[in-house]
Amino acid sequence: MGRLAACALCALLVGASGCGEDDPAPAPWLLDPALPMPTWLSAAGIYADRLTLAPADGFVVYEPPHPLYSNRATKQRLLWLPPGTRIAVGPDGWGFPLGAVLVKTFAYRHVEGRFGDVAIETRVIRRAADGWQYGVYHWDEGGDEARLAAPRWPEARFLLEDLNGSDFTYVIPGELDCEACHATHGDPPVIGLGPGNLDPALALDRPELFEAPPAADPLPARSEPERAAMSYIVGNCAHCHHGAPRGDNASFDLRPAALVANTVGVPTESSASGDGIRVVPGDPAGSALYEAVVSARDPGYAGDFKPMPPVGIVDLDREAADILADWIDSLEAE
């Protein structure tokens, strides 16, 4: 069992997010949103044990049912709310309290000559007094410490090596990348936790986190291939393609209720894409959606479509390729 899975199991067994019985008080920056994020992860109070990635007391592990693909990395997601606060649940979405912190640690199994889950980076988003803040901690090679990147850091690309000696590129996004992606989602800029992507365990086991019982939005799929496609698109596309007028990426709606009507047989019209039909029933290769997500990732691709999603992805999501192809093929019978 990897350390990400082990600490999640621990959280479930003890009924809290920490694994220790005598956890220290929250770090000062967690209690005072005016304080900056600490330079070192060891001072942030996020982990009770950094080597095992065991969360500190008060941090809740969650798993979105529609996850974002991130170059095959395993991810641990944590939520922290200031004592006495809750998430507001309303018809127009959720509201996170001042001081709310969301954490996502990216790791790979068996890289750089190390076994287990090797942490590469930890991303932090916090609702502070002057708006939402973003931070990224880069882990050292010993897996025991991570340093906060400087403000306005540039995107960082480097090679990782698996135990078979194969290199692969890893990208740590710059702060502007973080802001651009999350801000496109709107307010709140929280992508992996909300009414359209709710971990059912939170609703069932942690009702104290919410002002009212939260409800997940069911996927209006007509078939299993369509359900799988909707799940992928919710996790990877719909936070940008939500139909609201917030940038060119959001020029058309890919949320589940609008997906079929806005894609099947519909020509492309965004200046950011090539010309074609978004989804051609029975023809994945001839569908603009498939071309942008799958074909455009090929190094030899010579078409007009930009690879989608446009940020944070280097290698092809092969499972997504199969999911989208199965759905588009299934439409031929309609």
Q: How many Cβ atoms sit within 10 Å of the Cβ of residue 234?
A: 23
Interval 194-226: pLDDT, tens: 988 999 999 899 999 999 999 888 999 999 999
Buried-state track 152-187, b at ≥16 Cβ within 10 A, e below 16: ebeeeeeebeeeeeeeeebbbbbbebbbbbbebbee
Share of the chain above pLDDT 90, in %: 60
- Please compute the mean of the pLDDT values over residues 300-308 and round it to a whole number: 92
C-alpha R_g of the chain: 20
Element (H, E) at 161: strand 156-161
DSSP SS3 for 23? coil
In this prediction, residue 251 carries a pLDDT of: 64
Residue type, 10: C
pLDDT category at 11 given cuts 50, 70, 90 is: very low
Name every residue whose Cβ is closer than 8 Å to that of residue 290 and which is 6 or more positions away in sequence. 279, 284, 321, 324, 325, 328
Interval 236-287: pLDDT, tens: 999 888 877 654 445 689 999 999 999 999 999 865 578 999 999 999 999 9
What are the φ/ψ torsions at residue 146 (nearest 5 degrees)?
A: -145, 145
Residue 97, pLDDT above cutoff 80:
yes
In this prediction, residue 257 carries a pLDDT of: 94
In this prediction, residue 250 carries a pLDDT of: 52
pLDDT category at 334 given cuts 50, 70, 90 is: confident
Q: Please say whether the beta carbons of 234 and 256 come within 8 A.
A: yes
Position of tokens 């290199």? 167
Chain centroid to CA 24: how far? 29
Instruction: Report the mean per-residue pLDDT for the chain.
Output: 87
Interval 63-86: pLDDT, tens: 999 999 998 899 999 999 999 999
Residue 186, pLDDT above cutoff 80:
no
